[in-house]
Every structure is written in C-alpha cells, then in structure tokens.
Amino acid sequence: MGSLLVVSAHAGDFVWRAAGAIALATSRGDRAKVLCLTYGERGESAKAWREGRTLEEIKELRRVEASAAAEVLGAEIEFLDAGDYPLLETPELVDRIARVYREVEPAVVLTHPTEDPYNQDHPAAARMALHARVLAQAAGYDAPGEPLGAPPVFFFEPHQPEQCGFRPDVLLDITPVFDAKRKAMECLPAQQHMWEYYTDLARRRGVQLRRNAGPNLGLPHTTMGEAYMRLYPQVTGTLS
Ligand SMILES: [Zn+2]
C-alpha cells in the first residue's frame, strides 16, 4: 500500500496512539517511519525527573525506549531533538519535516489533532506536519526528491478526545497486531501508568468497531481497535 509516515511530538506518542496502525503496515511489508520531533524530555518524563536524572540522561533514556518500541513494531525512527515544553514552531523545523516527506513519499500520514488544550506541543507538531506536507507538494520547493502527491492525513486519538474536538470516523481493527502494540508500550517504563489505560482504550474501541461493522462480519469479542479522524475528504468512486 506504500509507506506510512507518523509525525509524533514526543517519544511515546506514536506508541499509545498509533502502534497498531504501524504494526499493521509493517506486517504487510510496507515501510513505516516514525518522526519524533522531540524526546518528550521535559513534558512527558515526570518519573525520570522525580528520580533526579539530568536532562541529557532523560533524553537518552527516552531515545533508547522509543527506539526499542519502534523496533518491536518493525518501524524506522528518527529524532529531530527540537526540544519540548515548549516545542517551538520554526521554519527550519518545518523544512526538516518537509525533507522527510520528500524522502519517505508516504502513502498515509498520521499525526496529532490540531487542538489540545492540555498540551500545546501536540497541536504545534500537527501544524508543522501539515505545513511541511503542503511545502513538500510544491514543485518549486527547494528540497531533494520529487514533489509529494496528496497522502491522506489521519489524526490519531489524543488523551482526552472530547476536549480536542476528536470525533472518531475511522475505527481500525488492530486485533492481529495488538500483542506487538502491548510489547511496544512495555518498552516505555517511563510512562508505565499508560500501559493499562491504552489497553483498555483499545478494548473499548474494539467494542465500537464490532458494533459499527455489524453482525455479518462476525468479529470476535476480543477485537481491539484504534480510532482515527480524517482531515481531508475520502476520495472514492463508490460509497461504501
Ligand atoms: Zn506527547
């Protein structure tokens, strides 16, 4: 189906919210690349700060953890080390992301929703991911590679979806790869409190997936799901 590009503000975000989609892509033999704009060293590493570690130690810790999670999922990972809390939007960072689009030529892009009143880094990452996509599409944009096509963009599920204007309009069946998602989550002991939370969420999204799929598909009670929201219209020749 082509490559998958995941733009993640912090080291753990891609695991909680999109590990199923990543594992599905790589299990099909598709390339998946995770672009982590930061390590989440200041905003999403509270346990390591409480343990008295230094900033550099925490960045290295999160790099090792996220790399292990990506490996479990069969994905490539690249860190831009742009600094979090706050993640600042700069033309240089947008350009670096645009160059990754040109190199990966993704068929599908996953990133954060553009609203999150609890975490300003997430919308900042989303805005830059969207801006870079548009730049990479321009024939005259000064970066190596061919102009990008129009890969669909899906927002992955934020931690508090209702406050982020997140309305699931895609429920992805991740049952065959859920074990890999759980293993990837367990690569992130710095955020161990999230493991059960996101296992429970996958179970609830699985229940909704079965309900929306209808009885004819006969999906099992053990179905696990991930929710996504499309940014751009679906393009199709038939309504289904
Ligand atoms: Zn985050």
What pTM value is reported for the model?
A: 0.97
Rounded to the nearest whole angstrom, what is the distance from the C-alpha of residue 239 to the centroid of ligand 1? Answer: 35
Q: Which pLDDT does position 35 carry in this prediction?
A: 98
- For residue 239, tell me if it sits in a domain: no
Q: How many domains does the chain have?
A: 1
- For residue 211, tell me if it sits in a domain: yes
pLDDT tens-place string over residues 40-80: 999 999 999 999 999 999 999 999 999 999 999 999 999 99
Rounded to the nearest whole angstrom, what is the distance from the C-alpha of residue 235 to the centroid of ligand 1? Answer: 30
Residue 117: which domain range?
Answer: 4-230
Confidence grade of residue 190 (pLDDT, cut at 50, 70, 90): confident
Rounded to the nearest whole angstrom, what is the distance from the C-alpha of residue 187 to the centroid of ligand 1? Answer: 16
Q: Which pLDDT does position 240 carry in this prediction?
A: 83
Rounded to the nearest whole angstrom, what is the distance from the C-alpha of residue 2 to the centroid of ligand 1? Answer: 26
**How many CB atoms sit inside 10 A of residue 12's CB?**
25
Q: What is the Cα–Cα distance from 88 to 229, expressed in whole angstroms? A: 25
Q: Which pLDDT does position 207 carry in this prediction?
A: 97
Rounded to the nearest whole angstrom, what is the distance from the C-alpha of residue 16 to the centroid of ligand 1? Answer: 10
pLDDT tens-place string over residues 103-132: 999 999 999 999 999 999 999 999 999 999
Residue 217, domain CATH: 3.40.50.10320
Per-residue pLDDT at 139 exceeds 90? yes
